Chains A and B, each alone.
Chain A
Amino acid sequence: MSNATLKSDQLFINLGPQHPSTHGVLRIGLTINGEVIVKAVPDIGYLHRGTEKLAEVRNYHHCVVLTDRWDYVSAMPNNLVFCLAAEKLMGVAATPRANALRVIMCEMNRVASHLLFFGTYGIDLGAYTPFLYAFREREMVLDLFEMLCGARLTYNYIRLGGVMVDASSEWLKRTMEFVEYFKPRLDEYDTLLTYNPIFMARTQGVGVVTAREAVDWALSGPNLRGSGVDHDVRRADPYCGYENYEFDVPLGKTGSCWDRYFCRVQEMRQSIRIIEQAIEKLPDGPFMASGVAKIPKPAPGEAYAHVEGSRGDLGIYLASDGGISPFRLHVHAPSFINLAMLQEKLVGMKVSDVIALLGSIDIVLGEVDR
């Protein structure tokens, strides 16, 4: 070697946008020293489609289609939050049966979304089998969605003033069959992954977000509750009659990756509870409110609605100038806000922990970039 002294240098590596575990097209520029991260620069915008702007040239019914494309892993809450905001502007209210159906569909979509998280988080940490188990069950949820509304990914099921079609008794029977089948599977997941010693060693004490930090960063959803902050929009600001259902809000203790993971696994149990109750006391009546115009022209004004989406507090600000299209649509996207903690939290971690933290935040790039 010609150099008298050994030179050690920091290495810059591009994590993404084409990488197996960035969950979409997120790019993180990592400066690493050996295996330890010195600097991390998340880079977003690879999936920007401008849906907020597109909404300004569409009428309110057509905007529901756009909402499917934000968080495509759980599109029902997107539909719902837009419809809630638009209904506030238009001054109509959904019928009780429609509300119950909305609750059922949103909770089923939460189950599907958390199942996707469960599977891909296992793959991120090197466990391949949970992925296939999760998708076996997720497939059943998607079959049920397809049976009811004909779509498996972008549903466009929740409409202004109600829902697209009524649920038949056969559909409800199939859903109960799924619920009964799914409960023991959750215990199976716990034995397979949740309490696996290697998995716990990989995730406990990694990426710890204290309650103070979580509130400061405005985290929401399981990321907030994993840090022990007891906040859930379904209970804090009930919509669609969530106040009528009995459910717990699972909380984490330390705010580590494992706590965020555990919150999601427990939330699946609670969602199943809500679905059971909602099907049990599903009211009769029309599934669509009367008085919704084909081309609505709400009076000038503004409205804000938010729901507990699968990834957190999903909100919509909608302003109308009296025309047929929204004057302005703005999405308060939980994935985007949760992602913000990455830049600070990654410094000092190991390369393997990047994947563990990124997976535990559970982002969907469609919602980050919109």
Chain B
Amino acid sequence: MTTPEPAAAAPKPVAPKYVPPEPVLNRQNGRLIEDRFSTWPTEVFKKRWSRPGYQRGAGMLVAIFVGLGLTGGLIGELAKRADGFYALLGSFAAAQGLPPLALDAGWIAIKVLIVLHIVLINGLWSIWWERKISAHIQSRVGPTYAGSPKGFNFHGWAQTAIDGIKLLLKEDVTPAAADKWVHALAPGLVIAPCIIAFAPVLFGDGLAAASLDIGTLYIFAFAGISVIGIVMAGWASGNKYSLLGGLRGAAQIVSYELPRGFSVVPILMFAGSLDLQVISNAQAGYWHGIIPRWFIFYPVVGQLAFVIFLISSVAETNRTPFDIPEAESELVSGFHTEYSGMKWSIFFLAEYAYVLLGSFLLATFFLGGGASPINALPFTWIPSWLWMLGKAMLMMFVFLWIRWTLPRFRVDQLMDFTWKFLLPWSFVNIAVAGLYLAYWLK
């Protein structure tokens, strides 16, 4: 089809005189610019507590704490509930005529599943929490949108779950230069000892999967195995950066296990046992009815042991300022440079599991386990598992806080720090603890 010609040729319009556009000034471009200025942080810095967001957030926080306390108090001690459940199972087994061995096997399977899920759910929770805390430390807001498309997307609560789905669906790449079997085995060897190490961890009074006499030793022993996985990952990736990262990791973790173990020795001396439950019980009671008899409040020895244990726990988890095996700006990603998808995320799951392990150990060894910090009624009514969880979360916050504040050590400085500073001081600490035992705590 042809377009019809215009009937009469209209006179060609005279081209208008070229008018240069107005220069881009604040007024012409004003709208966009004004929006930008409204996001300037100058106002926020002047009066932050008068902003409704701050007030709402503080109110919400108080509500969450009160709600948690009330719920926990109504549920009561979980160890008692577990005993009740075990008795129920026992009567059920007796009615069915099952042997006691089957009952115990089933009970252990339930406990293993619960501990396993604590580790997995901790991944979901702590990644989201780390993202939020790091964001607010860095004057950002972090995840906000993930959640229900229209409705409940409270602070991007579903972010980790969605990230997990993404990681599951990602291609699992094994480099051509990699040692295939070792490459695949390494993440497993990192996460498995970590889950095993959770067996004697105390989640509340009498609330542990296995009550072991050698609990402390058991945890340290298994937590140390993970380094083999890191070295394997570094070696098998067929990448020079990974190799360097793996070697750094091996040197670091082996070195920091020493001060970590020795810093707890004073606690073991005071408590007279390696059993976590006994250690927790040893901190019950209050001096003068006010100050809790926690090990962190033992003058000098307690604080020194706490600091050394905290520092070496951070080092064990390979997090900043001790993240030299990963060292993003130096070794790209260190030992997990060549990992992707679920294999990569298992490394992260293990890292967060170690953070949780360290937090619970700190709470048990130094912060009185399940004891209430305040010797007054509404606080002593709250059950021990909630106190334990709260203290562990506080310690986890300290982990994250350190992570997002400090720069990274250099390799030799890291080694100097542990061998020339932490280790000697933990020996001194043991000696002073001996003096305490001899003269004060007879």
Chain A residues engaging chain B, CB cutoff 8 angstroms = 11, 13, 19-21, 35, 122-129, 131-133, 136, 140, 143, 146-150, 164-165, 168, 170-171, 174, 177-178, 181, 192-193, 196, 198-199, 201-202, 350-355
Contact = CB atoms under 8 A, between A and B. Distances in A.
A123 B41 CA distance: 22
Contacts of B408: 125-127, 198, 202, 352
B407 A196 contact: yes
Interface of B: 23-26, 29, 33, 36-37, 40-42, 45, 134, 137-140, 240-241, 244, 320-321, 323-324, 327-332, 404-413
Contact of B407 (A11, A126, A140, A147): A126
Interface centre among B36, B407, B409 (most CB of A within 10 A): B407
B406 A198 contact: yes
Contacts of A192: 405
A351 B408 CA distance: 13
A261 B271 CA distance: 49
A177 B46 CA distance: 12
Given A168-B25, A199-B407, A351-B244, A126 B42 contact: no
A244 to B, nearest CB: 27
A170 B29 CA distance: 13
Q: Main secondary structure on chain B at its contact with chain A? A: loop
Contacts of A198: 321, 406-409
Contacts of A21: 329-330
Contacts of A350: 410-412
A189 B410 CA distance: 22
B240 A13 contact: yes
Contacts of B26: 147-148, 168, 170-171
Nearest to B410: A352
A154 to B, nearest CB: 14
A129 B404 contact: yes
Nearest to A201: B413
Nearest to B408: A126
B34 to A, nearest CB: 10
Contacts of A170: 26
Contacts of B320: 126-128
A242 to B, nearest CB: 27
A352 B412 CA distance: 10
Interface centre among A133, A168, A352 (most CB of B within 10 A): A352
Given A21-B330, A128-B138, A35 B409 contact: no
A351 B404 CA distance: 23
B329 A20 contact: yes
Contacts of B45: 181
A71 to B, nearest CB: 22
Contact of A133 (B138, B411, B413): B138
A125 B324 CA distance: 10
B327 A126 contact: yes
A143 B406 contact: no
Contacts of A353: 410
A129 B29 contact: no
A125 to B, nearest CB: 4
A227 to B, nearest CB: 22
Contact of B33 (A127, A131, A140, A143): A143
B329 A136 contact: no
Given A21-B329, A125-B407, A129-B137, 10 more contacts: A127-B406, A127-B407, A143-B36, A143-B40, A146-B29, A146-B33, A147-B33, A198-B408, A202-B409, A352-B330
